[in-house]
A and B are shown apart, each in its own frame.
Chain A
Amino acid sequence: MPMVGDPAARLGRLGIFADLTEAELLAIAAELDEQTFPEGVWVLRQGEPGIALYIIVDGEVGVVIDDEERTTLTTGSFFGEVSVLLDEPATADIVVRRPLRCLAIAPERAEAFLLAHPRVMYRMFQTEARRLRTVDPKRD
């Protein structure tokens, strides 16, 4: 589904796109699909193969592992990247807690997308580093 409204403004407020120009944002909006999910539905199920990389534009999801909700992700966050990068099934269930609007990058397009937008890749690296530090604050 194409993005409606002012896509550059809506994507530009996401942290991983913070370094992009308006033209780059418009290109991404045209390139990527936007998906919406109502509250309560499952976006992903643990063990599901061939999943996409999702970037949350608006809304909130719960990350459930082995029936335990470990954390929530909100606007500006992303999920599915581990499965896409390692070509493995989903490692968690993702359930919508607040109506979700997100960008989805199909696994076969993810590599090309990241190589085309190194600043986005860098921001994703930073977020992954932050996640590692959160899991183990002593690790630097």
Chain B
Amino acid sequence: MGGRAVGGAEADGSVLPGYLPIAEHGIIGDLHTVALVGTDGSIDWYCCPAFDSPSVFGAILDRTRGGFYQIAPAAAPWTTKQLYFPDTNVLITRYLTAGGVGEVQDFMPVERVRGRLHHHRLIRRVLGVRGQMRLALTIQPRFNYGRDDHQAFFYENGVIFRSPGISLALQTPLALQPDGPGVRCDFTLDPGQSATFVLEQVPETYIPRRYSEEETREAFENTVDYWRGWLAQSRYRGRWREMVHRSALTLKLLTYSPTGAIVAAPTTSLPEAIGGGRNWDYRYTWIRDAAFSVYALLRLGFTEEAAAFMDWLTRRFQEPRPGSSDPLQVLYDIRGGFDLKEQTLPHLEGYRGSAPVRIGNEAAGQLQLDIYGELIDSVYLHDKYGAPIDHDAWSDLCTVIDWIATHWDQADEGVWEVRGGRHRFTYSRLMSWVAVERAIRVAIRRGLPADLARWQSTRDAIYRQIMAKGWHPERRAFVQHYDTDVLDASILLMPLVKFVAPADRRWLTTLDAISRELVSDSLVYRYNVEASPDGLEGDEGTFSMCTFWYVEALARAGRLDEARLVFEKMLTYANHLGLFSEEIGLTGEALGNFPQAFTHLALISAAYCLDRHLG
């Protein structure tokens, strides 16, 4: 079997052989799933046909067993550049050699006709630009996370990989050669010449077809038009527009169009620390992301996406969950399913040896009381800036508020989904306060029926409790939970959700304490893991979304110069395409699942807030 080709990307020996840095990837998608494309032209992650389907290419989790699909120069040395076709999610990887220049245009057509079979095409157009380029395609699929064998059948116009669960066709007029369980294709392009490879989910009985150059060029142009047309809806005209728009394009890529759900990230088990065990499956939709998503989408003018996501959310609190008294689950699958049983895949070594690789997510069964605040804040935002809530949804929401009124004062696993036991987290109470406070606002503004006296009493009780027990008089700061003096970055949301005034004295001393203890060269840690054990092994980096919250908190507190510098510094941690993972390591490397929706949501919110405050 042919190995993966490397050019200059790993020449400095900064990573283990066979693994690109996480940030050395771009992302393409078709609103059902995505593919991660390395700067070495290798697709290292691709689940088909949906985000949460088993992987076909998973080299990012195991260089030998995961599978990959690479198009690269046939011989080293070469260097690469990667960029997006402007204002789109069409990715271009360029190869520069002494003898010539070539490029690969990677894209997945977005099919918009409802009710028709989605083809799930991943198209790679290779173009000769300058000189003569000798290139090699190597495709080594490993179906079902590398657990299923497959057969490769050669036809006129391509090959079909048939596995027990799915069949994929690689279609091209060029000659394909067997290469172990995969396929190889060596070809040469002169300037102006092109070659196209179409990977497509097909029925078992399918016969590969020949895509004409005209047809694939049209697919390319249609895909470019789709993304540009979509982005043209944005109303954002402020500073850092390119970064904000890249974040918006990324969020759209993380949307599952049949339901409107947004995945937290399209990957699983990219580690929070190399060699550590904090590896989770993020290919699900967290209720927590709801308010941030709806806020960011509405702020930018993407009302259709906000409405679709609200529709998905509304269905969640309207449907009963068998065997559970809680109105909501912490996270769901992209279709709204709630069986997210977690398992490890011991046959995969994990990114750079970071085991275990997990699929599914046990956090779904946790009690995290903050989710109701995020849910109802999104209802409030959408009711105010999108479409007014309807009667049935309001009735169901009242039931949720009544549940919160009797359940908010209990220990839970909290926003960070700790696995070291339940605590009475300040953030959980803060968001319970948000839930009730926003419901009151909607009821009053819309004149909707509600037990306002009970709701107001609950709201005030939560407020007073946080001020009494979440406040640590000696530390002069709000703390992580009621039985500790440890700080927590989630508290940064206090002024953002309008629980405290941005210049409240209690808040300003809390902000100072967070600046001293959780901020390292502008980057923000969630909490001090050593001081507040969370039941998990290993270290973690700084959390990118917390840094953006910090920016917003600084801006709202009037510390604008500081806020701007932190924001600008933070932007330098994006990868070459403007993408962020969940965390940043000590040497500035991207860690955790990639790209992460929450970070991009927080970026949009921080940019909007800071731009407005700067005037």
Contact = CB atoms under 8 A, between A and B. Distances in A.
Interface in A25-63: 59-60
Interface residues of A, number: 26
With most chain A CB atoms within 10 A of its CB, the pick from B162, B205, B207 is B207
A75 B176 contact: yes
A101 B381 CA distance: 67
A134 B210 contact: yes
Contact of B209 (A13, A18, A123, A130): A130
B151 A72 contact: no
A91 interface: no
Most B CB contacts (10 A, CB to CB) among A18, A59, A73, A129 go to A18
Interface in A86-130: 97-98, 123, 126-127, 129-130
A13 B155 contact: no
B176 to A, nearest CB: 7
A74 B176 contact: yes
Nearest to A78: B156
B188 to A, nearest CB: 13
Given A73-B156, A74-B156, 13 more contacts: A15-B156, A15-B207, A59-B175, A60-B175, A75-B154, A75-B175, A76-B155, A77-B155, A97-B175, A127-B155, A133-B209, A134-B209, A134-B210
Given A126-B207, A134-B209, A74 B153 contact: no
Interface string A3-15: 0000000001111
Interface of A: 12-16, 18, 59-60, 71-78, 97-98, 123, 126-127, 129-131, 133-134
A123 B207 CA distance: 8
B259 to A, nearest CB: 32
Task: Give the secondary structure class of A's interface.
Answer: mixed
B154 A74 contact: yes
A15 B173 contact: no
25 contacts: A12-B151, A13-B151, A14-B153, A15-B153, A15-B155, A15-B156, A15-B160, A60-B175, A72-B173, A74-B154, A75-B154, A75-B176, A75-B177, A75-B178, A76-B153, A76-B154, A76-B155, A78-B156, A98-B175, A127-B207, A130-B156, A130-B207, A130-B208, A131-B156, A134-B209
Given A71-B173, A74-B175, A133-B209, A13 B156 contact: no
Contact of A13 (B175, B178, B205, B208): B178
Interface string B145-158: 00000011111110
Contact of B157 (A78, A97, A129, A130): A130
Contact of B156 (A12, A76, A97, A98): A76
A25 B218 CA distance: 41
A97 B159 CA distance: 19
Contacts of B205: 126
Contacts, number: 62
B483 to A, nearest CB: 65
Contact of B152 (A13, A60, A126): A13
A139 to B, nearest CB: 13
Given A126-B207, A134-B210, A13 B176 contact: no
Nearest to A12: B151
Contacts of B174: 74
Contacts of A130: 156-157, 207-209
Nearest to B215: A137
A64 to B, nearest CB: 16
Contacts of A131: 156
B173 A13 contact: no
Contact of B154 (A15, A126, A129, A134): A15
Nearest to B156: A77
Contacts of B154: 13-15, 74-76
B153 A18 contact: yes
Nearest 10 pairs of A and B residues by beta carbon: A76-B154, A15-B155, A77-B156, A74-B175, A60-B175, A75-B154, A15-B153, A126-B207, A76-B155, A18-B153
Contacts of B151: 12-13, 18
B127 to A, nearest CB: 20
Nearest to A16: B155
Contacts of A126: 205, 207
Contacts of A12: 151
A40 to B, nearest CB: 15
Interface in B187-209: 205, 207-209
Contacts of B162: 18
A138 B207 CA distance: 17
A80 to B, nearest CB: 14
Nearest to A131: B156
A37 to B, nearest CB: 15
A64 B177 CA distance: 23
A86 B337 CA distance: 58
A77 to B, nearest CB: 4
Contacts of B208: 15, 130
Contacts of A123: 207
Contacts of A15: 153-156, 160, 207-208
A131 B177 CA distance: 22
Nearest to A122: B205
A97 B174 CA distance: 12
A20 to B, nearest CB: 11
Nearest to B206: A126
Contacts of B152: 13
A103 B190 CA distance: 34
Nearest to B178: A13
Contacts of B210: 134
Nearest to B155: A15
Contacts of A134: 209-210
A55 to B, nearest CB: 11
A134 B155 CA distance: 14
A97 B188 CA distance: 14
B397 to A, nearest CB: 50
